Amino acid sequence: MKATQKLHDTGQSLWIDDITRDMLDSGTLAKYISELSVTGLTSNPTIFDRAVTKSDKYDDEIRRLLKRGLKGEPLFFELALQDLSRAADLFLPVHQQTATVDGWVSLEVSPLLAYDTDATIAEAKRLYKKADKPNLFIKIPGTKEGLPAIEEAIFSGVTVNVTLLFSAAQYTVAADAYMKGLERRVEAGLSPDVRSVASVFISRWDKAVMDKVPDALRDKLGIAVGKECYKAYRDVLNSDRWQRLGSLGARPQRLLFASTSTKDPKAPDTMYVQAFAAPNTVNTMPDDTLLAFGDHGTVEGVLSPGGGDYAAVLAEYEKAGFDVAALAQKLQDHGAKAFVQSWQDLLKAIETKCLALA
């Protein structure tokens, strides 16, 4: 049995962090589903940048959209929704078989709106309606400005992938926004069954401190933070507040481990995937990590609900002079800015291609 199947059997969903028209046309995504237990998909601006600019698969469609007068963001979202709609259809059987728990794909709102709550809400609703797919998440960052947008989107029935979370504290306020949206739906006489995931980024922690820590602490921070987030996740599920919502028909906002490709060339390429085996969670990974885990990964038990040794490890980092809470905020701020830069690069690349094709 492949390691990917063993990981799936623990109750964790394996999602691919990639999408291209080549993957869809060649049957690669279908192969990942049938052979590597992949049950969902995430995307981001960098992924679409590579997909559109390094392939001629989109050229004819871009020409057609240009003739319709589309350009910039509207043209990009047409291309993205076409790809994600095809992927959503591939995952629809999983979505139905798991009673809508799994089989999701994700589309990001424009990162340029990360600090504009009202605009994020409006765009999330527009994209969700335009896609018209039962298994599409709209990605909204868990920034201070994104939290009320998450609450409002959930209240409006928009399924949400909360992104850019880096710590247990950030996860907890995102979970609070999700539950507030559900509680408002209950008060309004609406069903609280609106799905969501909360995406905690892992590898960027170790990348941020890689050249600043002694060898004894190398590549341990991301795993410790992830374990703390898992404990916070289990605490939310065990809370009276969540139990009440669950009794009314709500389903858990699953914890998603994101950015799980190893950035340290000295470390095992499956390190983070193996570290975060846990039931009722998601691990999303790029192709290389998925293929590596399928080839030589191992599953050695699941995470402890209490987070195991995370507190002792974090204490070691604090002792070494690292302010973990401050670094979490720095990583979120930097992540939001990096997403903006990626988005601008994407739009510039599309503009260049449009000019060439026109």
Q: How confident is the model at residue 230 (pLDDT cuts 50, 70, 90)?
A: very high
For the residues 35-47, what does the mean pLDDT come to? 93
Give catalytic residue positions.
139
Identify whether the C-beta of residue 255 lies closer than 8 Å to the C-beta of residue 233: yes
Whole-prediction pTM: 0.96
| CB neighbour class for 92 (10 Å; exposed up to 12, middle 13-18, buried from 19) | middle
> What's at 159, amino acid-wise?
T
- Checking if the pLDDT of 137 tops 90, the result is yes
Taking a C-beta distance cutoff of 8 angstroms, is the pair 199, 171 a contact? no
Give the per-residue pLDDT at 113.
86
Q: Which of 69, 82, 81, 55 has its CA nearest to residue 353?
A: 55
Domains defined along the chain, listed by start: 3-357 (3.20.20.70)
Out of 197-206, 263-272, 335-344, which region has the weakest mean confidence (pLDDT)?
Answer: 335-344
61, two tokens: 């469609």
